[in-house]
Amino acid sequence: MAKRKGRSKTAYKNFIIEQMMSLGTYKEEYDVLIDTLAETCALRDKNLSEWNKWTKKTGYSMVFPYTNKNGSTNLTPVPFYTNNIKFNDTILKYGKELGLSPLSIKKSMLNGEEDDELDAFLKESSSNDA
């Protein structure tokens, strides 16, 4: 597992806003979503840091043996691993909502062009009717 230097929620928020501004998609109305995405990114980094410490201490990375009440031992996913999957899924969903994925950027550009063509058609039609 690679080491990752964690960022603060504020650093992530600034980074996300900077990315959105460079794409021309930032609006203040998105700040609640941006805050949630930034918090999730910071929590994911903390989870990864704790996971690294736990792996060094125990030697287990993704699964560990767990003995239940009946004495049966099974391999169980490490909670850090399952948390990381959930954090990454959430980050991807919020990233798409905020237009930070290549597919969402492409869709928003296509939608913008379609709206412009429709607006032009409607304006032309209304001017012809007058």
- The predicted-structure confidence for 26-61, as pLDDT tens digits, reads as follows 999 999 999 999 999 999 999 999 999 999 999 988
Q: pLDDT over 70 for what percent of the chain? A: 77
- Whether 54 is covered by a domain: the verdict is yes
What is the average per-residue pLDDT within 93-118? Answer: 72
- Whether 36 is covered by a domain: the verdict is yes
- Whether 114 is covered by a domain: the verdict is yes
- Whether 63 is covered by a domain: the verdict is yes
DSSP H helices, the chain, are: 9-23, 31-58, 79-97, 102-129
Handedness of CA 99, 105, 108, 109 (dihedral sign): positive
Assess contact for 1 and 55: CB atoms under 8 A.
Answer: yes
Q: pLDDT over 90 for what percent of the chain? A: 65
Total domains in the fold of the chain: 1
- Whether 81 is covered by a domain: the verdict is yes
Tell whether the model's pLDDT for residue 4 goes beyond 60. no
- Whether 4 is covered by a domain: the verdict is no
> Of the candidates 71, 51, 68, 49, which has an alpha carbon nearest to the alpha carbon of residue 60?
51
Tokens 């736990």 belong to 54
- The predicted-structure confidence for 89-104, as pLDDT tens digits, reads as follows 999 999 999 988 877 7
Residues of the domain holding 84: 9-123
- Whether 1 is covered by a domain: the verdict is no
Tell whether the model's pLDDT for residue 88 goes beyond 70. yes
- Whether 98 is covered by a domain: the verdict is yes
